[in-house]
């Protein structure tokens, strides 16, 4: 299913991105362009990202952790 129509990002693309190391919405946006253009897909993208992360046994981070240091 298409999650982001503006950038033609599918749920399969999001699952693949998680397998390749994406761990939060910022990383997903950088990798796929999802939720950057109009933003209407953001809630669905977060939902699919969470599902993909739960399948990998990890926890979704909505915002990146601050750098230590």
pLDDT tens-digit readout, 43-60: 999 999 999 998 765 555
Average pLDDT, the chain: 88
Which residue did the predictor score with more confidence, 31 or 67?
A: 31
Topology classification of domain 2-55: Arc Repressor Mutant, subunit A (1.10.10)
CA–CA–CA angle 57, 27, 43 (5° rounding): 75
pLDDT attached to residue 56 = 60
Beta bridge partners of 12: none
pLDDT tens-digit readout, 30-42: 999 999 999 999 9
Domain ranges of the chain: 2-55
- Residue 46 to residue 44: CA distance in whole angstroms: 5
Q: Per-residue pLDDT for 66 more than 60?
A: no
């Amino acid at each position: 299913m298409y999650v982001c129509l503006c950038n033609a990002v599918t749920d399969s693309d999001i699952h693949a991105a998680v397998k390749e190391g994406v761990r939060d919405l910022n990383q997903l946006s950088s990798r796929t362009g999802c939720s950057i253009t109009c933003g209407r897909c953001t809630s669905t993208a977060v939902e699919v990202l969470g599902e993909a992360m739960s399948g990998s046994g990890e926890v979704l981070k909505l915002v990146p952790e601050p750098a230590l240091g």
